[in-house]
Structure 1
Amino acid sequence: MNLPNALSLLRLAAVPFLVLLLHDGRHGAALGLFVLAGLTDAADGFVAKRFGQETRLGKVLDPIADKALVVTAYVTLGWMGLIPFWLVLAVVTRDLVILVGALAYHYLTGALEMAPSVLSKFNTALQLALVALVLLEAVLALGLGEWLGWLAVAVLATTVASGLQYVLVWVRKAWAHESAEG
């Protein structure tokens, strides 16, 4: 196993510990773990590309670890009342749509290429920023309420837009595949 895949597995393994820390009210430790997990995401991508260590496993494992971390954080923070339910619903629904779309596309075409768009990467960055700032607010009580509200709206907008973008891209690719075969 190479370093990037090990970092993705480490991030995946961190997910249950994040939940435990949040449920125990240890927001500072949860923030530290969340930031560390985010750094492993940046590091695994950098190492994989820079040193030619991209693998098929890594191309699957990295987004799974990312989604497990983000969705789990949103669901847990939503359950705790720190992130609005409507936003948790949007984030989870988008990821379910992407998962179902990916499986349907794979079923129809026999192929699956995970290539996140710039919008999707921006959405992920906003989602991560919101979790980090919510946890920072829980630790330090900085009075970020209004800013968190605006960031939540931005996360909602990019979540919906990037979800729709994935659907449109996969529909176009599926039609192109069908046209090429038919």
Structure 2
Amino acid sequence: MPFLSQFRAAPNLLTLMRLFIIPFLLIEILDGHYGIAFALFMLAGISDALDGLLARWLSQKTTLGQYLDPIADKLLLSSLFVVLTHVGLIPLYVTVLVFSRDVGILLISTLLFVTGTLRDFRPSVFGKLNTFVQIVALIAVLCQKLFLSTELATFRDILVRSIAVLAPLSAAQYAWIVLRRMSSPPEQTV
């Protein structure tokens, strides 16, 4: 599929919509409109789930989508961490750990990709768990602003602290996987 035509693929349109939602979501948080922010975050999550399903159902997996989808996901999560830290809902150290992990992985994978050393960057088990916990924690943080609950606050705090453990742990696992794959002999083709 020609590159410009890939923008018209339904899954990519959903991903572009998710990117379009991000600034409005952040503005609503900064303005203290947590109900609208929560609705926008849920809409972004639904669009993320749907774009993958549509790509499979409609056989519209594209090169653009392979790059655009994870970029949209990271931009959404990273932006939320920054803004929620700015308004005092997530501790600064957690956001620093999340960003350090993401920037480190981005730099290493870009370097390995550009040099042709390694081109397969599937997420690790801890990486997937880390992303899942980040999403649930962000939902809990936003819900805590909508529904004052001691149990929800405790759950939110546990999730946020879990991110502080999972972010460096997943970065270490990713580094270990990359080092192991780089030191293994190349696969023989027959």
**Shared fold, TM over 0.5:** yes
Counterpart contact for 1:105–1:170, Cα < 8 Å: no
* 2:169 counterpart letter in structure 1: A
> Post-superposition shift, 1:151?
1.0
- Residue deviations 1:66-90, cap 9 Å, x none? 0000000001001111011111111
Match of 1:91 among 93, 98, 101: 98
Percent of matched pairs sharing the same residue: 34
Distance 1:81 1:114 in 2: 34
* Structure 2 alignment gaps of length 5 or more: 1-7
Q: Quick check: which one's helix share is greater? A: 1
> Post-superposition shift, 1:64?
0.2
Q: Which moved more, 1:42-51 or 1:1-10?
A: 42-51
Matching of residue 135 in structure 1 with residue 139 in structure 2: no
* 2:107 counterpart letter in structure 1: V
Matching of residue 164 in structure 1 with residue 165 in structure 2: no
> Post-superposition shift, 1:147?
1.6
Q: Which moved more, 1:65-74 or 1:120-129?
A: 120-129
Distance 1:50 1:116 in 2: 23
What is the correspondence of 1:59-74 to structure 2 with a 5 Å cutoff? 59-74=66-81
Distance 2:84 2:110 in 1: 28
Count matched residues.
179
Which has the higher relative contact order, 1 or 2, with Cα contacts under 8 A spaced 6 or more apart? Answer: 1
* 2:123 counterpart letter in structure 1: P
Distance 1:49 1:119 in 2: 25
Q: Which residue of 2 aligns with 1:122?
A: 129
Distance 2:114 2:179 in 1: 13
Counterpart contact for 1:105–1:174, Cα < 8 Å: no
Distance 1:119 1:165 in 2: 7
TM-score (norm 1): 0.91
Q: Which residue of 2 aligns with 1:152?
A: 160
> Post-superposition shift, 1:110?
5.8
Which protein has the larger Cα radius of gyration, Structure 1 or Structure 2?
2
Match of 2:43 among 22, 33, 36: 36
* 1:97 counterpart letter in structure 2: G
TM-score (norm 2): 0.87
**RMSD of the alignment, in Å?**
1.7
Q: Secondary structure at the match of 2:122?
A: coil
Distance 2:20 2:117 in 1: 30
